[in-house]
Amino acid sequence: MPRVTIIGSGFAALTAVRTLRKAATETALTLVSPRAELVYYPGLIWVPTGLRTGDDLRIPLESFLRRMGVKHVAAEVTGLGNGGRVLETTAGEIENDGLIIGSGGRYMKKLPGSEHMILPCEGIAAAQRIRDRLQGMDGGTIAMGFAGNPKEPAAMRGGPLFEFLFGIDSYLRRQNRRERFELIFFTPAEKPGNRLGPKAVAGLQAEMNKRGIRTHLGHRLKGFAPQRVMTEGGELDADLILFIPGMTGSQWFDNTDLPRSEGGFIKADRQCRVDGMERVYVAGDSGSFPGPEWMPKQAHMADLQAKAAAANLADELAGRQPTATYRVELLCIVDAHDRGMLVARNEKHNLVLPAMRLFHWLKRGFEWRYLRQYR
């Protein structure tokens, strides 16, 4: 029986499990991750404003893995040997006949003084810190921003930052406290949100103007200090700093012969095959893939790549030529606590629909439907 190892327990890894189990029923599947749980990161935007708790977003996977017939190894990955056939972990070596890497990326905390900011997409604990800080503030200045990886511009998380920004604004207004706060949005980009398309950029800037959010755009970041954001265009005083830095590859990649992009990710082709390695695939934030410069690193794209990777590995194990590819598609609802703006983009079209309550409830409905398959 072929043995397949999948690394991670996020969107890419779990989609790979479902796709492989459907396409290769006689395959022995092993999932390697520190914990048998899925953290639904898109829902972090609602933790600071009380729409979600950490327990709402932390999904135990034991039942799902049992239904899928998957063995879980609770371990950290430390390296890769024998051309990808041996995965090195803190629980020992795991041999495989095929490997899918879906372990995600990591944030580049290289700016001086990063300890003075909160990285809201880092996890549940970070989102809860923001919630607690907001509840304890009588007023003040909140500065929120993001940056990218200069060597791989697509490796950024801009969308969630806009959601934290607009969501906190809406939250303070509902509490009748907004007039006591100044909100500032900062980023080195001159046109933030450009990957969403020109219409989205205009819409986001118009929304910030309407909400009275001050902007500080196009200035390279120098670092952070207690209650201060430092840029080449001046300093911003802030009582609370939320910042999402650019992304790069996981630390364990450094202990392998995996081919790397300039930005630190695993190089792959349009079939999600890792360059120069046999039956080794990558999906989601771990990889650097061919496509337009706006191709997103988001959950939806990770799912599309994982489906292609798993289908191709199943074909290889069955002696067939792998032919599946992923479509490049950006699909998101930029939520603002009680309403959302829909943005859809592919290689032919770019659709932007203005914020409305329907899209907020669609986003919540999608969360329920998506998580239902893992509960």
d(CA 328, CA 322): 19
Q: What CATH code is assigned to 3-106+247-317?
A: 3.50.50.60
Give the pLDDT score at 254.
96
Q: Mind listing the pLDDT tens digit for each residue in 226-257?
A: 999 999 999 999 999 999 999 999 999 999 99
Give the pair of three-digit tokens for residue 6.
């999948």
Indicate the pTM of the whole model. 0.95
Strand 350-356, strand 340-346: pairing? antiparallel
Exposure string over 193-221, b if 16+ CB within 10 A, otherwise e: bbbbbeebbebbbebbeeeebeebbebeb
Give the pLDDT score at 199.
85
Q: Mind listing the pLDDT tens digit for each residue in 29-58?
A: 999 999 999 999 999 999 999 999 999 999
Burial class (CB in 10 A: 0-12, 13-18, 19+), 357: exposed
Give me the residues of the chain with pLDDT under 70, please: none
Domain-wise residue ranges, the chain = 3-106+247-317, 109-246
Contact 293, 153 (CB under 8 A): yes
Give the pLDDT score at 311.
97
Give the pLDDT score at 63.
97
Q: Mind listing the pLDDT tens digit for each residue in 10-30?
A: 999 999 999 999 997 889 999
Instruction: Please tell us whether the domain made up of 109-246 is placed in CATH 3.50.50.60.
Output: yes
d(CA 36, CA 200): 37
Answer yes or no: same fold for 3-106+247-317 and 109-246.
yes
Give the pLDDT score at 3.
97
Give the pLDDT score at 109.
92
Nearest by Cα to 193 from 167, 165, 169: 165
How far the first Cα of the chain sits from its last, in Å, is 28
